[in-house]
Amino acid sequence: MSKKPTSTQTDGANTLWGGRFAGGPAEIMARINASIGFDKRLYEQDIAGSKAHCEMLVKQGIVGEEDGAQILGGLDTILDEITAGKFAFSEALEDIHMNIEARLAELIGPAAGRLHTARSRNDQVATDFRLWVRDAADHLEAGLRDLQRALLTRADEHAASVMPGFTHLQSAQPVTFGHHLLAYVEMFGRDRGRYIDARARMNESPLGAAALAGTSFPIDRELTAHTLGFARPMRNSLDAVSDRDFALEFLGSCAITATHLSRLAEEIVFWSSAQFGFIALTDEFSTGSSIMPQKRNPDAAELIRAKTGRVTGAFAALLMVMKGLPLAYSKDMQEDKEQVFDAADTMNLSIAAMTGMIRTMIVKEDAMLAAAGKGYSTATDLADWLVRELNIPFRQAHHITGEVVKRAEAKSVMLEQLSLADLQAVEPRITDAARAILSVQASVASRSSFGGTAPDRVRAAIATAKKEIG
């Protein structure tokens, strides 16, 4: 067989692993294999990991001081080159790890070859990626905190603004807009907790697991773990190179956050419709229609709602990649990065857009108030009054109230507009005091149980949340 590369082969064997190779890979092989197109985003983490590893090798006497100093200097130069956009990434060098190592060899010569002692790309990529995901989790968590702050500010303004509360999207009982927004503060608070929890679990160092079995060199894994801000080294080398739970947990957390965002986005979509008219988005967060001049479209909210599919898809995709993979490293795992990068970018964008919409939306209190009284939303208040004041069992009170609603419906009036005579026609013991509790304001004010919608409760909840969130 000819050793001359065919026309579909790339030039020569890879200098970093090509010792037993005569020719280069087919062009299509190089293309399916290369990850540099996306994993270049790991350059900072890769250089930080290499520096920590090099310092440890020197300290342990595995690499000489002089070589170590050259390696560290070369890595700093590379960091500057990449940051300045002056680094020439090469697809033939597959990935970020080999691109950096090859450049190091160009810069400092043979000493560069000592950096990969007691290390493999398997523990290297696991380390780099953990560092990246750790930062991404911190970043999303901080973004959600900003979103919570924006929600709290608006909740504060509207602690007593009455709106309809829905179940089944049918008018149920009046609530305050502040209370409604606080529900999302709670959701995003749990989301933050998930990133924090995931971070704590992922914060262990795979570095030093080498290819899969550990190394015969006297390395100090505690030291590299500590340098990179990890709490400890991972305890099992096979697990260290093959675990992607940290990426899955991150994506799972993203999927839940995206789901929360989609619910709020959906509410923004219908709140801002002409039929609801509860809010208006400002020009900053609306788009027009090229044909219908009257339109103000809530595109950002719609896109946030839609991007939930993309993020949840990333989670499902990585689960499928990992399913059934035997220990330890398999190249399948290279497919982890694009999903995580895309999900992280998408989440950052969605959270920022949502924060902007919440900060700027115009709240139409009058429209909310008017809608709150529709649909006999204070019927439960009347039933409760019958129980409380007339000692009628709740089921019977429910039935009596149903009759009252029927009457109001027949007369096309709200419950509070029914005369005392109308009420007494259904239940003679009803007094004028019952009519006073039928307004939506009275209704929300009465729901003062812990976690309830009464404006005083809402204000107290905001104060607590502000203290916690800062």
Q: Which is nearer to ligand ARG, 168 or 331 (CB)?
A: 331
Say how far apart CA 247 and CA 95 lie, in whole Å.
19
Q: Which is nearer to ligand ARG, 102 or 125 (CB)?
A: 125
Among 46, 67, 95, 422, binds ligand ARG (CB under 6 A): 95
Residue 447 in contact with ligand ARG, rule: CB under 6 A: no
Residue among 116, 139, 161, 168 flagged as catalytic: 168
Q: Closest distance between ligand ARG and the C-beta of residue 65, in Å?
A: 29
Q: Which is nearer to ligand ARG, 39 or 422 (CB)?
A: 39
Q: Which is nearer to ligand ARG, 188 or 329 (CB)?
A: 329
Among 54, 108, 125, 404, binds ligand ARG (CB under 6 A): 125
Q: Closest distance between ligand ARG and the C-beta of residue 35, in Å?
A: 4
Residue 340 in contact with ligand ARG, rule: CB under 6 A: no
Do 188 and 149 touch, CB atoms closer than 8 A?
A: no
Segment near ligand ARG (CB under 6 A), from 120-128, 194-202, 391-399, 447-455?
120-128
Q: Closest distance between ligand ARG and the C-beta of residue 101, in Å?
A: 12
Residue 127 in contact with ligand ARG, rule: CB under 6 A: no
Please indicate whether residue 168 is annotated as part of the active site: yes
Residue among 90, 273, 289, 448 flagged as catalytic: 289
Q: Closest distance between ligand ARG and the C-beta of residue 32, in Å?
A: 12
Q: Closest distance between ligand ARG and the C-beta of residue 328, in Å?
A: 10
3-state secondary structure the chain: CCCCCCCCECCCCCCCCHHHCCCCCEHHHHHHHCCHHHHHHHHHHHHHHHHHHHHHHHHCCCCCHHHHHHHHHHHHHHHHHHHCCCCCCCHHHCCHHHHHHHHHHHHHHHHHHHCCCCCCHHHHHHHHHHHHHHHHHHHHHHHHHHHHHHHHHHHHHCCCCEEEEEECCEEEEEEEHHHHHHHHHHHHHHHHHHHHHHHHHHCEECCCCCCCCCCCCCCCHHHHHHHCCCCEECCCHHHHHHCCHHHHHHHHHHHHHHHHHHHHHHHHHHHCCCCCCCEECCHHHCECCCCCCCCCECHHHHHHHHHHHHHHHHHHHHHHHHCCCCCCCCHHHHHHHHHHHHHHHHHHHHHHHHHHHHHHCEECHHHHHHHHCCCCCCHHHHHHHHHHHHCCCHHHHHHHHHHHHHHHHHHCCCHHHCCHHHHHHHCCCCCHHHHHCCCHHHHHHHCCCCCCCCHHHHHHHHHHHHHHHC
Q: Which of residues 7-36 bind ligand ARG (CB under 6 A)?
A: 35
Structure token digits, residue 355:
């924060």
- The residue type found at 275 is Q
Do 242 and 324 touch, CB atoms closer than 8 A?
A: no
Q: Which of residues 233-272 bind ligand ARG (CB under 6 A)?
A: none
Segment near ligand ARG (CB under 6 A), from 252-260, 331-339, 377-385, 390-398?
331-339
Please indicate whether residue 289 is annotated as part of the active site: yes
Omega into 105 within 30° of 0, i.e. cis? no
Segment near ligand ARG (CB under 6 A), from 24-32, 119-127, 229-237, 449-457?
119-127
Q: Which of residues 162-201 bind ligand ARG (CB under 6 A)?
A: none
* β-strands 204-205, 232-233 pairing: parallel
Q: Closest distance between ligand ARG and the C-beta of residue 172, in Å?
A: 51
Q: Which is nearer to ligand ARG, 46 or 422 (CB)?
A: 46
Say how far apart CA 457 and CA 447 lie, in whole Å.
9
Among 41, 53, 119, 121, binds ligand ARG (CB under 6 A): 121
Q: Closest distance between ligand ARG and the C-beta of residue 97, in Å?
A: 6
Residue 339 in contact with ligand ARG, rule: CB under 6 A: no
Segment near ligand ARG (CB under 6 A), from 135-143, 304-312, 328-336, 442-450?
328-336
Q: Which is nearer to ligand ARG, 327 or 436 (CB)?
A: 327
Q: Closest distance between ligand ARG and the C-beta of residue 127, in Å?
A: 11
Count interface residues toward ligand ARG (CB under 6 A): 10
In sign, the C-alpha dihedral spanning 279, 284, 289, 294 is: positive
Q: Which is nearer to ligand ARG, 95 or 381 (CB)?
A: 95
Q: Closest distance between ligand ARG and the C-beta of residue 332, in Å?
A: 9
Residue 122 in contact with ligand ARG, rule: CB under 6 A: yes
* Site residues (vs ligand ARG, CB under 6 A): 35, 39, 95, 121-122, 125, 329, 331, 333-334
Question: Annotated catalytic sites, by residue?
Answer: 168, 289
